[in-house]
Structure 1
Amino acid sequence: MPPEYVVHGQYSMKSDVFSYGAIVLELVSGKKNRQFSEQEHSLNLLGHAWRLWSNERPLELLDEVLKEGCTRSEVIRCIQVGLLCVQQRPEDRPDMSSVVLMLNGEKLLPKPKVPGFYTDTSVALETDSLLKNYTSFSINEISITMSDAR
């Protein structure tokens, strides 16, 4: 599920793109995002793929079964497209027509940003800077809910 649905309960025009990217990364890795847990850094599959990409080791994501019959550049392109699709913010994700062109090799690929649900602490600093622009509905950050009987 895309972050905008999990956090706010709303779908965006690019929610399907997020799901597609997660499936691409699952297919390449041979692992399910829901059942994957990378012990050393407590990452899900998307976070693990991002960490490998950031450390310039994307081919380590590739399932052993697929290693023999694949083209290295195509696998790297698939991983990059998958990461572009699972961006945290919907406006950072490509639309599906662009994804098709990217997978066909007809379009230059931008550099992916941190994916949704990435829990590394270094990203917390980036999130904190985004939250500075957040406006609270309550000045003292306390809300009171009154329940009235029918």
Structure 2
Amino acid sequence: MIEKAAGAKFSDFPAKDTVEMYGESWILISFAEFKESGHYMAWMKTAKEWLRIDDDHVDIRVDTRAMNLKNYEARTLVFKKFPKVAPVERVKTPEPPTAKKPSILTSIQTTLNKELSIATKNNNSPLPSDDLVEDDHVED
């Protein structure tokens, strides 16, 4: 049951905060306001504002942060159960995969490329140069 002090009014409920009732958390989503001569108006909460519904038209928008039930003659309140947030479980981030060892062929190719590069820079190329290659054509 709602635990309030004797003489407490509906207007004592916070319009923007959650309320603890029946072991659950609840949030006010609507209320009915009693006006003169037995006329009621409904108020409904949207994401950003409260709308007043009076018979067949909707008007008066009040920012949800500014709504205060003490300014209205609230007679009936409508609550929606506020979902409890489950505790966040820490998940260990997996280790990144280790780099694969290069295959023996890759290692040999890398070594040969390095040696060829060094030999070329030092003019010790293992490949024959153009001036050492014999010309196969015959002069007429």
TM class, shorter-length: under 0.3
TM-score by length of 1: 0.22
User: Over alpha carbons, which structure has the higher Rg?
Assistant: 2
Considering fraction of residues, name the structure with more helix: 1
TM-score by length of 2: 0.23
Of structures 1 and 2, the one with the larger relative CO (CA 8 A, separation 6+) is: 1
